[in-house]
């Protein structure tokens, strides 16, 4: 399956919700510590295992995450290390981009998620310990959510409830929020170490997953979160990103500083159903296509983006 070489270190990869062959990639120079960033928009070639770059956008600082708009097929947002969120429109000429720069966060923006049900708003998670709610038609955020005691690394909308989202933080908690409520509605002390990622199950709106520096992934039922539904162990280092399958209820994918991408069925005893060791540096970005069942993508600090079908070798041409 095809791969794409980026000049900088990969941080995040996202499939387009509109075009099955299109992806966006967030990258940062010098492992994101200091230097520039670049957003790549890439297309899979229909006839050959080749990835073509459609366009790239340079930033003065590293880019840690990207998210596609759920309402405009050419619009995407990027999380930048200077605390800004850049908005790009691939339908416009390069000199018209970015469309705007939303700058409120006091530190790096680390995570983004577009609302898949309401489709008009998105969330940003920052190392300034806050989450912000935005719409593209306003230059200022609609609301700031401040309760976490340390960096917020990840944020995820509930796929069924348009006002509900989860946030994962270095303070070792996952918090559940409802934008109609003044504060968080639930606090899950999920791990004993920093929580790096969270995601909602796409078929059961009460199931939530978290992943941590403690090397584990935990599945929670928010109706009874004292004990996790499942604990997935198998990674050798911190689990950087997790994503529930949009096509199969019990499937979740993860990537880790152990350089692997893992596929799990959290309802069976031998939960690890696939391990891919194609990266040669930290694997930090992973995604599953909403439009094509089993199509996966990953990126890492080895400056490579891989796109492959579940069960195939990502390195096979």
Q: Is the pLDDT of residue 309 over 60?
A: yes
Predicted TM-score (pTM) of this structure = 0.97
Q: What is the pLDDT of residues 108-120, one digit of tens each?
A: 999 999 999 999 9
CB 138 within 8 A of CB 152: no
DSSP result, 139-192:
SS-SEEEE--SS-EEEEEE-SS-TTEEEEEETTS-EEEEETTSSS-SEEE---S
pLDDT per residue as tens digits for the range 125-147 = 999 999 999 999 999 999 999 99
Model pLDDT for residues 22-43, shown as the tens digit of each residue: 999 999 999 878 899 999 999 9
Question: What's the pLDDT at 203?
Answer: 98
The answer to whether residues 217 and 231 touch, using CB atoms and an 8 Å cutoff, is yes
Give the pLDDT of residue 92: 97
pLDDT of residue 317: 57
The arithmetic mean of pLDDT across residues 201-217, rounded, is 98
> pLDDT value at position 46?
83
| Tens-place pLDDT, residues 145-188 | 999 999 999 999 999 999 999 999 999 999 999 999 999 999 99
Q: What is the pLDDT of residue 304?
A: 98
The reported pLDDT for the residue numbered 224 is: 95
Q: What are the structure tokens assigned to 167, written together?
A: 């946030």
Token pair belonging to 31: 């492992």
pLDDT of residue 316: 83
State the DSSP H helix or E strand holding residue 87, giving kind and residue range, or none if neither.
strand 84-89
> 135 has which bridge partners?
121
Average pLDDT of the residues in 203-208: 98
* Of 2 and 195, the one with more pLDDT: 195
**Mean of pLDDT over the chain:** 96
* Domain architecture of the chain: domains with CATH: 3-309 (2.130.10.10)
Mean pLDDT on 192-221 = 98
């Amino acid at each position: 399956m095809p791969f794409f070489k980026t000049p900088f270190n990969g941080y995040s990869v996202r499939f387009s919700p509109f075009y099955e062959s299109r992806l966006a990639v967030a990258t940062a120079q010098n492992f994101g510590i200091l230097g520039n960033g670049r957003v790549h928009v890439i297309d899979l070639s229909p006839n050959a295992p080749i990835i073509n770059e459609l366009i790239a956008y340079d930033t003065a600082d590293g880019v840690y995450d990207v998210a596609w708009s759920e309402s405009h097929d050419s619009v995407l947002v990027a999380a930048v290390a200077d605390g800004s969120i850049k908005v790009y429109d691939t339908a416009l000429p390069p000199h018209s981009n970015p469309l705007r720069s939303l700058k409120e966060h006091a530190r790096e923006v680390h995570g983004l998620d577009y609302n898949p049900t309401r489709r008009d708003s998105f969330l940003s998670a920052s190392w300034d310990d806050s989450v912000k709610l935005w719409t593209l038609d306003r230059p200022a955020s609609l609301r700031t959510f401040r309760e976490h005691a340390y960096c917020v690394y990840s944020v995820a909308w509930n796929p069924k409830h348009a006002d509900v989202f989860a946030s994962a933080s270095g303070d070792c908690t996952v918090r559940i929020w409802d934008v109609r409520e003044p504060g968080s509605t639930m606090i899950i002390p999920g791990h004993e170490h920093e929580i790096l990622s969270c995601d909602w199950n796409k078929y059961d709106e009460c199931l939530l997953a978290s992943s941590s520096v403690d090397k584990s992934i935990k599945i929670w039922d928010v109706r009874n979160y004292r004990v996790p539904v499942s604990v997935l162990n198998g990674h050798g280092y911190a689990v950087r990103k997790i994503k529930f399958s949009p096509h199969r209820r019990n499937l979740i994918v993860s990537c880790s500083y152990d350089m692997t991408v893992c596929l799990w069925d959290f309802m069976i005893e031998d939960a690890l159903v696939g391990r891919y060791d194609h990266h040669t540096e930290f694997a930090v970005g992973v995604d599953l296509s909403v439009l094509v069942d089993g199509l996966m993508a990953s990126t890492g600090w080895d400056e490579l983006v891989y796109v492959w079908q579940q069960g195939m070798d990502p390195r096979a041409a």
